[in-house]
Structure 1
């Protein structure tokens, strides 16, 4: 069971979990709660916050077709500037450090937040590109994307409505 929990959590989440367990160890001892039990139960309680169903969206008015995860990664990493149909594609990011940002880049590009920061620092320094516009949270991304058919962003699947169209699911 411990192995399953460790596989489900990323390194950053495991470190955060360890910090929580260590910080509350005196309280847990007073309450006669074994720290191993807390270590095993805490990730299960918090897993829904980490495990999100992210989708890549464009305006409902856009003619863009479905995208593969590799195509999405290419757009958000700046190596591709248009959708497969030829329409301009301008990526819009959520704020670095948010759960959605971390999940998106882990799943779509296979990169951690630190790796993305290093990637964009390198790209900006060499003049080869700039990071996507930071829109804030999912609601702000949806609002921007819905108003401009050239913008593409990612949001939680629960936020999808008639104003946006899903191009890809990030699993």
Structure 2
């Protein structure tokens, strides 16, 4: 009986710990010098290639995380309003018709932070727990 109870507790703990990354909060980040007014709609338009510039008139360079990551799935669903398969199909169509080039993809939060910190025109997204002083987190309204 005790062995069965311990097994249940271990499985529950593993589920709860494993699910924290699935529900992690994703925040949009920009270079600290970026003074543009950025909201959810403009972020969506930038990452879907419909807008090429920030409100300041400076070029916007979106940085995507690799497909399948928790941050990417969360961003696609919550900010772009599409699941990852829909976003992939959207970009495939634009690339095939010559009407767009998808955002550059990097592997993880650390790479997004490094690229955004190094380029005042970059915009990306990371897990809220990964934000460092080298970038500015944006609250999307």
TM range (shorter): 0.7 to 0.9
The higher relative CO (CA closer than 8 Å, separation ≥ 6) is in 2
TM-score normalised by length of structure 1: 0.71
Counterpart of 2:118? Answer: 147
Runs of 4+ in 1 over 6 A off after TM superposition: none
- Please identify the structure whose Cα radius of gyration is greater: 1
Aligned length: 135
1:59 aligned to which of 31, 34, 39: 31
Tell me how far apart the structure 2 counterparts of residues 168 and 129 of structure 1 sit (CA, whole Å). Answer: 27
Say if 1:54 and 1:169, in contact at 8 Å, map to a contact too: no
CA RMSD of aligned residues (A): 2.2
Counterpart of 2:46? Answer: 75
1:80-159 map, 5 Å: 80-159=51-130
Structure 1: tracts of 5 or more residues without a match: 1-30
Structure 1 residue 154: deviation in Å?
A: 0.4
TM-score normalised by length of structure 2: 0.85
Structure 2: tracts of 5 or more residues without a match: none
Tell me how far apart the structure 2 counterparts of residues 144 and 109 of structure 1 sit (CA, whole Å). Answer: 21
